[in-house]
């Protein structure tokens, strides 16, 4: 297969420079939001747009979160350990001081005005659902859990619980969230066990 030679083809960000750009972009979007981030000159140097850099930051974060989830799920041998693996992932997402949560929500907002970002976000969510559904299938085959529904549907609902909870925490940091968090964990536990 021939490599793209078009000047319009986006370049993949790799290496130490890319990691510095990703870290700087992540921090900027996390603290100021995508619209207020002043990194157009960085985007030009990286060979892309602000939107392209935002996508690269989310891809980078997603790869890291996937690796962490894989490690936790591989070590989960009971339904409670599966739930705990999911809870730890949500807690890490919510407590991410570098702005990972804000970056995802900024990307969601930007997707309303960019077909490229919308397609990238849809693909990321598809990959996350498929990955979690794969783990749920594996854990069900191992006899660790008994799913209440199709693995893809359960994965989608689990992500929906996390996303919805994350939006509420971000919008109201002073909210006493423990009761809702506990109910979310109980809901996840119920989805993973029959009867």
CATH number of 54-191: 1.10.357.10
Residue 176 vs residues 86, 149, 173, 180, 194: alpha-carbon distances, Å = 21, 31, 9, 9, 31
Residue pLDDT, tens place only, 117-128: 899 889 999 999
Confidence (pLDDT) at 97 = 64
Confidence (pLDDT) at 4 = 39
Terminal Cα distance for the chain, rounded = 51
pLDDT lower than 50: segments of the chain: 1-11, 195
Confidence (pLDDT) at 6 = 39
In the chain, what are the domain boundaries?
A: 54-191
Confidence (pLDDT) at 104 = 82
**Is 108 exposed, middle or buried, given 0-12, 13-18 or 19+ CB atoms closer than 10 A?**
middle
Confidence (pLDDT) at 178 = 95
Tokens 């981030």, residue located: 37
Confidence (pLDDT) at 8 = 46
Cα-Cα-Cα-Cα torsion 128, 129, 135, 139, nearest 10 degrees, comes to 150
Confidence (pLDDT) at 2 = 38
Confidence (pLDDT) at 110 = 85
């Amino acid at each position: 297969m021939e490599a793209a030679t078009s000047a319009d083809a986006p370049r993949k960000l790799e290496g130490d420079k890319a990691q510095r750009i990703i870290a700087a972009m992540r921090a900027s979007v996390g603290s100021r939001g995508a619209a207020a981030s002043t990194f157009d000159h960085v985007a030009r140097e990286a060979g892309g747009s602000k939107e392209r850099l935002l996508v690269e930051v989310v891809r980078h974060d997603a790869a890291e979160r996937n690796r962490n989830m894989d490690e936790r799920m591989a070590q989960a041998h009971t339904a409670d350990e599966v739930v705990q693996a999911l809870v730890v992932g949500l807690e890490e997402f919510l407590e991410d001081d570098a702005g990972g949560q804000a970056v995802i929500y900024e990307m969601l907002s930007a997707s309303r005005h960019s077909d490229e970002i919308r397609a990238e976000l849809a693909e990321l969510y598809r990959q996350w659902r498929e990955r979690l559904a794969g783990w749920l299938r594996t854990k069900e085959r191992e006899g660790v859990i008994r799913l209440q529904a199709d693995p893809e549907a359960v994965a989608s609902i689990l992500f929906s619980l996390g996303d919805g909870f994350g939006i509420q925490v971000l919008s109201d940091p002073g909210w006493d969230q423990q009761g809702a968090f506990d109910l979310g964990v109980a809901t996840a536990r119920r989805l993973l066990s029959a009867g």
